[in-house]
Chain A
Amino acid sequence: MKAVTRKATRHVNQNEGLIFEKSSAGKAAWKLPPLDVPEVDTQKLLGASERKDLGNMPEVSEIEIIRHFTRLSTWNYAIDLGMYPLGSCTMKYNPRVNEVVSRLEGLANGHPYQPERVSQGALRIIKTLSECLIEITGMDAITLQPAAGAHGELTGLLLVRAYHQSKGHPRKKILIPDSAHGTNPATAATVGYAVENLKSDARGMVDVAALAAQMNEDVAALMLTNPNTLGVFEQDIAKIADLMHAKGGLLYMDGANMNALVGKVRPGDFGVDLMHLNLHKTFSTPHGGGGPGSGPVAVKKMLEPFLPKPVLITKPDGTLGFEYDRPQSVGRVRAFYGNFGMFIRALAYTLANGPDGLRQTTEDAVLNANYIRKGLEGVYDLPYSTPSMHEVVFSDKLQVKKGVHTMDIAKRLIDYGFHPYTTAFPLIVPGALMIEPTESESKEEMDLFIEAMRSIAQEVEEDPEMVLAAPHTTRVSRLDEVAAARKPVLRWKPS
């Protein structure tokens, strides 16, 4: 028989099969200690409820599991590998001490229902983080219960509704700028509000005249991202807040872009009534390939009675505890108290920074975005010349002439060793390139990025076909998303 070369490239470049394809009966990666109580007759205890077979669950050894997931991991891009300039996602460094302290035994093994007497450590963490976030946002009270940003929005709008209801009329509509993130309108619909679009003006900001015309007693709140998704600070914020308040409406701030503001300005000071934060953005908790997040909601005094229950309180004896008797509360939005593990990480980040570090972080984030803006201006179209805060939005207008779109440029950027920016968002910029470097990038890394982007712009002029076929260096080339959606294969089945 002819010898066959089975291995021509490094393992990581070869296909790593699905775990099911490595399975064979009798392999195991587990070992249980001997049972110290009498064995039981499962049939007798469970009767017809006994399960006999676990289908196609895999049987593999420990080394295979380690290799399997380690190889898979090498096919991912990550902050640890380089710049990850996704706009509005704030892909900053995830400090490792956060991971260490979140795994301390008493915290990792704390049961949510253990008596308060033996939960003082966890409660102190919740209280300390709450105080820091209240101070950072300039608000009066906070709930940490929401599990992510969109969940925070949901909680926020429940509060809005409860507040108006308490005044006798829940109102009907939520105003949302056309530049907003998709979760905003989706959330409003979930809470039973109609969504009314608010158009942006030539500066990319809320059109104050339009707002004045649309604002009335049917509007419950305006959901405003500030800085907005163009990375632009809403300079008329005072007027906007006044317009809302004059007709009894509330100003909700989506805190997705809070990384531009921490330590420099506080939303509570510029008229915001309630807002959510994304601890997985501004406060450095890892994105983990899509979560877990955490979306605390900070509010002004008048909204406090409506916060989800339970609420953390200090008892007369000085110990901490939860209060469940909250007659005006909107209820629970999640079992237990929220993504506590993320609270630990966010607090560790805050302690590592202190007031000076937090301010410097914000300044560096804004400095970096402006450096990239300067480096790419003229090479890519800048649809709004309004000053940028922590992110900058270009468009593919110049490249489209050669048939190259924002997604193609993004794919080519992969070949240069960078994760793409956010493509095709915000919707008010056709063919958007939304770039947020965060404070975590050095000047050297940004210079490389700028060079890469300039080089791609040149390639678009000289060899657009090559850009259209990018990426060229990845394990897989562009994937057929149409086929994936048309005939969905969502699970492995034995062939």
Chain B
Amino acid sequence: MRYLPKSPADREAILKAIGARSIDDLFAPIPAEYRLNRDLKVPRQMAESEIVDWFRERSRENGDGYATFLGAGAYYHYRPVIIDSLISRGEFLTAYTPYQAEISQGTLQSIFEFQSMICELTGMEVANASMYDGSTAAAEAVMMAVRLTGRRSVVVARSLHPEYREVLATYAFHQGMPVTTTGFTDNGRVDLKELERSVDQNTACVLIQSPNFFGTIEDVAAVAEIAQKKGAMLVVSVAEAVSLGLVEPPRPADIIAMEAQSFGVPLGFGGPYCGVIATREKYVRQMPGRLVGQTTDRNGKRGFVLTLATREQHIRREKATSNICTNQALVALMANVFMTIYGKVGLRELAKQNLAKAAYAAQQFGKHAKVLFSGTPRFNEFVVQTSEDPYAINSRLLGHKIVGGLPLKKFYPELGNAALWCCTEMSTRTIIDTAVGLVAESERSVKSAKEADVEEVAR
């Protein structure tokens, strides 16, 4: 086996040194009746070239070369090549969690920079080293609010990503945390009146997303006021991180739970991604996850260490703020390099292109079909309602190697034939026009079919 660095002679020499007759001696502690005396039924050992071929085949079966209008918590942005050049360095790729600070300064300093940039972008005072993803970050942020307020119930916006809501439901259920859902109005934002009624003295926090699942930017200040005047916290989930380049961050929030996938992390069929929690300094001791802090060594030289570990499972065990251990360090490094590349000016310009593309596409779709929530500011996603089932339209789009918007029926049956479309800097005008053309065609054929029906009846 090519990964194993021992010759048969080495193995013999080691067996001799330890005084074992055969390798089986070393497995003697395993009761004989359980020892496996056959080969595992897994595919035979493959050559590297065969492995590459096998996965190439899978890649071809997986929408290779298709343009996409899907967003909904996973965004297709350009990834500058130096991200992979840098994260592929063995010193980053093959290092462990930086517990031994003296020989982990590279990882530690880069996490410190990551935390700093997340603070700059979110307007918060502290950020952790990462969480699994945006959905678990949101659930953990809610649990943090429960600890901080000593209250137990949660009000969650229906305009939060439906799968994030499902994850929260899973986490909340066994913690005895009642979850109520607040709907949205026809402007695509949280229904403030309903929210007002839902928040009470037992509410630990209100959880919303902005830009929300429909791409609409919430009135964060109004939501914050409703939550905070009753002593509840506001947790805001940011799923499209690029929006932070152009959209005012949810500063009135007490906790921000982010998904940083948009910052240079490949779509990768849903993971690994990079969650982050950012909050105010006064709440830091209730924060889950790792934190890197600045300090000095014995000679007064600046250095970085993992800190405030007394919150964590390896010290506190069942009293820890979370059970999280391994997080998403290498993915956070991708996001870190991405944020460094685009920086203060580039991130804004990138976000502007996203805004422009989505505005153009929404306008074009609006000529033929109904664009919902169109009076409210939005970032790079919008909802298009068609006469025909969006699955049927998408099926025709696939023929043009285009993946259309996400049909919303599954999550929001009340929106009928609606689909969530996303445009990023990667969406070319040609592709947008092609998709719009097919939707227009669909509308025309439905209309003429209806006219034919009318004629039929008239006759």
Contact = CB atoms under 8 A, between A and B. Distances in A.
B195 to A, nearest CB: 19
Contacts of B95: 76-79, 287-289
Interface in B401-459: 403, 406, 425, 428-429, 432
Find the residue from B28, B101, B292, B318 having the highest chain A CB count within 10 A. Answer: B318
A30 B102 contact: no
Contacts of A66: 82, 85-86
Contacts of B425: 32-33
A290 B58 contact: no
A335 interface: yes
A314 interface: no
Nearest to B49: A97
B26 A352 contact: no
B51 A352 contact: yes
Interface string A29-52: 110110111111010011111110
Interface string A345-379: 00010111111111111011011101101110000
B36 A112 contact: no
B96 A80 contact: no
Contact of B121 (A54, A111, A332, A474): A54
Contacts of B132: 147-148, 151, 292, 334
Contact of A122 (B58, B100, B102, B217): B58
Contacts of B120: 54-57
A210 B51 CA distance: 49
B392 interface: no
B3 A474 contact: no
B23 to A, nearest CB: 5
A45 B347 CA distance: 18
B327 A290 contact: yes
A195 interface: yes
Contacts of A117: 398
A462 to B, nearest CB: 22
B346 A125 contact: no
B271 A290 contact: no
B340 interface: yes
B103 A335 contact: no
B343 A492 contact: no
B202 interface: no
B106 A351 contact: no
Interface residues of A, number: 200
Nearest to A375: B17
B201 interface: no
Nearest to A362: B27
A20 B347 contact: no
B228 interface: no
Contacts of A195: 317-318
B93 A286 contact: yes
Contacts of A68: 340
Interface stretch (B147-155, B173-181, B365-373): B173-181
Contact of A351 (B54, B107, B331, B342): B54
A110 B127 contact: no
Given A119-B269, A290-B97, A51 B293 contact: no
Given A59-B344, A232-B29, A330-B170, A289 B14 contact: no
B55 A18 contact: no
Contacts of B111: 289
Interface size class for chain B? Answer: 35 or more
A335 B167 contact: yes
B61 A121 contact: yes
B400 to A, nearest CB: 13
Given A113-B72, A337-B271, A348-B51, A69 B86 contact: yes
A62 to B, nearest CB: 6
Contacts of B76: 109, 111
Contact of A158 (B72, B166, B174, B323): B174
Contacts of A58: 117, 340, 343-344
Contact of A489 (B28, B87, B294, B309): B294
Contacts of A341: 266, 268, 271-272
Contacts, number: 691
Contacts of B320: 182, 186, 189
A86 B95 CA distance: 11
A105 interface: yes
A289 B92 contact: yes
A296 to B, nearest CB: 13
Contacts of B252: none
Contact of A188 (B82, B318, B322): B318
Interface in B97-126: 97-98, 100-107, 109-113, 115-117, 119-121, 123, 125-126
Contact of A119 (B14, B62, B100, B170): B62
B150 to A, nearest CB: 17
B373 to A, nearest CB: 14
Interface in B324-346: 324-331, 333, 337, 339-346
Nearest to B314: A182
A192 interface: yes
B55 A331 contact: no
Contact of A485 (B2, B101, B127, B308): B308
A115 B303 contact: no
Contacts of B339: 57
B270 A18 contact: no
A410 B337 contact: no
Given A118-B398, A331-B166, A483-B295, A107 B268 contact: yes
Nearest to A120: B61
B158 interface: no
Contacts of A45: 355, 359, 377
Contact of A78 (B93, B117, B309): B93
Contacts of B244: 51
Given A151-B136, A492-B116, A364 B4 contact: yes
Contacts of A368: 14
A317 interface: no
Given A79-B94, A182-B313, A371-B14, A484 B295 contact: yes
Contacts of A440: 3-5
B352 to A, nearest CB: 6
A23 interface: yes
B325 to A, nearest CB: 5
Interface string B2-17: 1111100011011101
Given A148-B327, A265-B35, A286 B350 contact: no
Given A74-B91, A105-B65, A355 B44 contact: yes
Interface in A1-28: 15-16, 18-20, 23, 28
Contacts of B313: 150, 182-183, 185-186
12 contacts: A32-B349, A55-B344, A57-B117, A57-B121, A57-B344, A103-B266, A113-B70, A121-B62, A132-B42, A148-B324, A289-B98, A488-B308
Given A54-B345, A439-B4, A491-B126, 14 more contacts: A19-B113, A29-B340, A76-B95, A89-B96, A111-B74, A112-B269, A120-B61, A136-B40, A235-B31, A360-B4, A363-B26, A374-B17, A443-B6, A478-B102
CB-CB nearest 6 A-B residue pairs = A288-B330, A336-B270, A354-B45, A80-B90, A106-B64, A121-B62
